[in-house]
Structure 1
Amino acid sequence: MSSLSSYKQVRFFSLFLFGLTLATPALPQAPAPHEYPRTVLYQGILHPIVTFSQDAPVVNFKTFYQVGFPVGVNIWKTAKIGYSLEIVPFIRSEAGVSRMNNVLFHPGVLVGLGNGFTLANRLAFETGGRYGVTPVLNKTFRRPGPVNYFLAVPLPVRFGNDRPTSVTLGFQFGLAF
């Protein structure tokens, strides 16, 4: 199997899941005011864009393709503060082989910034041996019905496993229920 074929399979899988999220029908009703504590479930798709370390920058989509599928729960105590637990399995396609290569355990504190913006301050523990922190700026786009969309920009900082410290810029899209 060629690397292009493997890349296309992972890309197709990602686009298929993305398409399913867009097909979610909207219900014509106004959202009710929130009561606290409040629980929100979510799922998404995460694309690391570029990773910086003491080595040259590493760009996703160049010689490999990596994608993550975050799923999580947010428990809001008030509109300003909450707790989040996220798990992110990653799939990587490289040299004709695609495989799940890492799972990220991602607990953190949520800070509501207003106007649909949230800052998630997460700890990071990877099955690949790395650990660190991940600040995430998130914007929720509310719509009538049970599902809201969100966009997020994570900035993972990782240490450990005999590798240099790294900082990655990513892009995430998802649905909150």
Structure 2
Amino acid sequence: MYLTCFSQTRSFMKINLPLPHCKTTYYRLLQICLITLGIAGSLLPKSVSAQIKDVSPDSIRYGGSIYQKIKPKPAYPKVVGYLSIILPLKTLSAGKFTSNFSHHTSSIGFPLGVNVLYSERFGFSYEITPTIKSSGGSSRVSNLLIDPGTMFRFDHGFTIITRLAFETSGRYGFTPVFNQVYARSKAVNYFVALSLPNRFGNSEPYSLGLNLQFGFTFN
């Protein structure tokens, strides 16, 4: 009787209390691991590329941190030369305006000089300007201007130059110049300038002029 009951109990356990299927559980865990690795692998390149994009060209990444690259500052004082041409546009003297290229007379100057730059904001300019005058079918060097001056440099290539003026014709005075760099290259910078020559002396009345200048500075 006891043997019969034990056999029935054993049969009941086999039917109603099945043992865990180890192989099925193992495969499920393996699938979960593979899916997790796949998701992580798909996200990793995006995060790396995002980190690379976050670093600007003037920065570097080291040890998980971003550092700004130090830009070398230009050494001062710096000496640069330049060449240019200048056209007198208008001259006011004794209450009358006179234009260049009028009455079959024209003048053109060729300023050349050296700029000594002491900082990003200040410099000194040494300039000489031979002037050629054409009149009556002939031309000659009519004047030589020596006009040193101080340079006050601003952002975006704008400079104000205050020049003294000494002419071999006997005139003297001062010339404010408003200079703007409009194009840059590795070798030269191109500029345009407006100047207002104020002249006195040599038994002539005071005159005020307006000049237009084009040129380039060697880097």
TM-score (norm 2): 0.65
How far residue 35 of structure 1 moved from its aligned partner, in angstroms, is 2.2
Pair 1:167-2:212 in alignment:
no
Deviation at 1:130, TM superposition (A): 0.2
Q: Is the counterpart of residue 54 in structure 1 residue 94 in structure 2?
A: yes
Q: Which of 190, 197, 201 is residue 149 of structure 1 equivalent to? A: 190
Q: What is the alpha-carbon distance in structure 2 between the residues aligned to residue 37 and residue 100 of structure 1?
A: 34
Give the Cα separation in 2 of the matches to 1:144 and 1:129. Answer: 39
Distance in 2, Cα, partners of 1:51 & 1:160: 16
Supply the distance in 2 between the matched residues of 1:145 and 1:55 (Cα, whole angstroms). Answer: 46
1:55 Cα deviation after fit: 4.1
**Cα distance between partner residues in 1 of 2:185 and 2:127:** 25
Matched, 1:45 2:85: yes
RMSD of aligned alpha carbons = 1.2
CA distance in 2, matches of 1:33, 1:98: 47
1:134 equivalent in alignment to 2:175: yes
Aligned residue pair count = 146
> Are residues 1:35 and 2:78 paired?
no
The residue identity in structure 1 corresponding to 2:81 is L
- 3-state SS of 2:87 partner: strand
Name the CA distance, whole Å, in 2 between partners of 1:62 and 1:131.
Answer: 24
Deviation at 1:106, TM superposition (A): 0.6
Q: Once superposed, which parts of structure 1, at least 4 consecutive aligned residues long, lie more than 6 Å away?
A: none
- What's 1:100 paired with? 141
- After superposition, give the CA deviation of every residue in 1:72-92 in whole Å (9 maximum; x if it has no partner): 000011011111100000000
Which range moved further: 137-146 or 95-104?
137-146
Structure with the greater alpha carbon radius of gyration: 2
Q: Considering fraction of residues, name the structure with more strand.
A: 1
Q: Which residue of 1 aligns with 2:5?
A: none
